[in-house]
Structure 1
Amino acid sequence: MEIDMTPFYLTFKLAVITTLILTIIGIPVAYFIAYSEFRFKPAVEALIALPLVLPPSVLGFYLLLIFSKNGFLGSFWEKLFGHQLAFHFDGLVIASVIFSFPFMVHPLISGFRSIKKDLIEAAYTLGKSKLETVLKIILPNMKPAIITGITLSFAHTVGEFGVVLMIGGSIEGETKVVSIAIYDAVEKLDYSTAHIYAAILFGFSFFVLLVVYMFNKKFEVSR
């Protein structure tokens, strides 16, 4: 039986791009939340955590309205790039960034808050700027949080279904990632193909979590 590897390629591509974007925007956002004090901070934290409790179909529905030709972002995107976001790979990326955002930001916030204030103050005393302190002191000392955020974001993107289905549907070579391929195979009663896709995802998810726990344990022992 021949297995189409295109869904795996699209899934990996989506996960890599999403994780890269989340890492770039997640670190400054997490730093701001961890160290700043302002009145509406709880509201911002609640907004970031919303995808954790909101049903994917609800989030996907509203994103679909925004991404469609009649939506403000979809119409703008179509004028700019010549295609709408809904049912396109670009739409999957943006939706995945939104849906996986808390999986990146929450570990980073915990990492920033775990750094002792004495260490930061010592860096300032030695004449290091805030940027130098973040890059040379804080980030190196919160490697487990960074690795956890990156790994969980990647793995969560790989396993996305509800939001991906609502935004992208099942378009061959464009939006049909592995989770959608499993759904399509089950609908066709092609359980053999579904088993193969599901087993690969199951093994990958277990391996990713195992690596995270092993790395964190090794880091704790070395400290």
Structure 2
Amino acid sequence: MTEPVFSTADIQALWLTVKLAGIVTLLLLIISTPLALWLSETDRQQRLKTSVQALVALPLVLPPTVLGFYLLLAFSPDSWLGQTLHTLGMGQLAFSFPGLVIASMIYSLPFVVQPLVNAFNAIGQRQLEAAATLGAGRWDTFRYITLPLAKPGFITAAVLGFAHTIGEFGVVLMIGGNIPGETRVASVQIYDHVEALAYPQAHALSAFLLVFSFIVLLLVYGRRSQKGVKGWL
């Protein structure tokens, strides 16, 4: 009898990975939209914005294990955050799925914020000023003008944020460990297969993620080519 390509543990890890990426992407779109709007506006707070931009982009250059280490310290029971959560009866974030969500949001933040900033910058001020002249408020302007014009940026941000979360390893291993059904995502499952010298299983999962990532990038850059947008993000 032919063995299945993916074991039950593999499927469980894939499902947990998709669940994590979906939750992280949704939360990041909600959080990143006002942040990207603020960063795209030009005003006198340029120094502050430069500092915020550097902070948002930090995960792009910071080793994942470094970020994971400091988040692990922040989530520990001895930290002020851990003690506050314990006082509120909410449990600990380290080695838990909620902890994975928070860590993944921080690590994938620049992949969602930057496409949104680019989309908002591409709109320009003329149409927004015209809406203000006609008496439209900030919410109406955002809902009926900014949001539709920035739709390609939102799609790119969602796809990149989702795909980047799918491929995380260092941060999720530091924060989540390797708990089946709770924190063992696909990248950690591949690591387990390699450690056990189960190369066929590792190859199957790796090939699946490789094809998935390539298709995601094809869709993103295909859309950007159709829109005539230049740049990597």
TM-score (norm 1): 0.94
Alignment equivalent of 2:117, drawn from 87, 100, 109: 109
Whether the 8 Å CA contact 1:115–1:138 is kept in 2: the answer is yes
Q: Aligned runs of 1:46-57 on 2, under 5 Å?
A: 46-57=54-65
1:155 is matched with 163
1:28 is matched with 34
Letter in 2 for 1:188: A
Alignment equivalent of 2:131, drawn from 123, 136, 159: 123
Deviation at 1:188, TM superposition (A): 0.6
Matches of 1:27 and 1:63, distance apart in 2: 24
Matches of 1:116 and 1:180, distance apart in 2: 43
Matches of 2:89 and 2:196, distance apart in 1: 35
Deviation string 1:159-192 (CA, Å, 9 cap, x unpaired) is 0000001001111110000000001110110001
Letter in 2 for 1:194: A
2:12 is matched with 6
Q: Aligned runs of 1:186-205 on 2, under 5 Å?
A: 186-205=194-213
Letter in 2 for 1:97: M
Deviation at 1:36, TM superposition (A): 4.6
Whether the 8 Å CA contact 1:161–1:179 is kept in 2: the answer is yes
Q: Aligned runs of 1:37-116 on 2, under 5 Å?
A: 37=43, 38=45, 39-116=47-124
SS in 2 for 1:40: helix
Pair 1:82–1:143, CA change in 2 (3 A)? closer
SS in 2 for 1:174: coil
Matches of 1:117 and 1:186, distance apart in 2: 53
Letter in 2 for 1:141: L
Whether the 8 Å CA contact 1:63–1:167 is kept in 2: the answer is yes
1:135 is matched with 143
Matches of 2:80 and 2:27, distance apart in 1: 22
Q: Is there any run of 5+ residues in structure 1 with no aligned partner, and where?
A: none
Matches of 1:58 and 1:113, distance apart in 2: 32
Deviation string 1:75-129 (CA, Å, 9 cap, x unpaired) is 3233334421101001000000111111100111111111121111111122111
Deviation at 1:213, TM superposition (A): 2.1
Matches of 1:69 and 1:89, distance apart in 2: 16
Whether the 8 Å CA contact 1:78–1:85 is kept in 2: the answer is no
Deviation string 1:24-75 (CA, Å, 9 cap, x unpaired) is 0100000011115313211111111111110001000000001111122223
Matches of 2:197 and 2:87, distance apart in 1: 41
Which segment is superposed worse, 79-88 or 190-199? 79-88
Letter in 1 for 2:184: K
Alignment equivalent of 1:144, drawn from 144, 147, 152: 152
Matches of 1:113 and 1:186, distance apart in 2: 45
Letter in 2 for 1:168: G
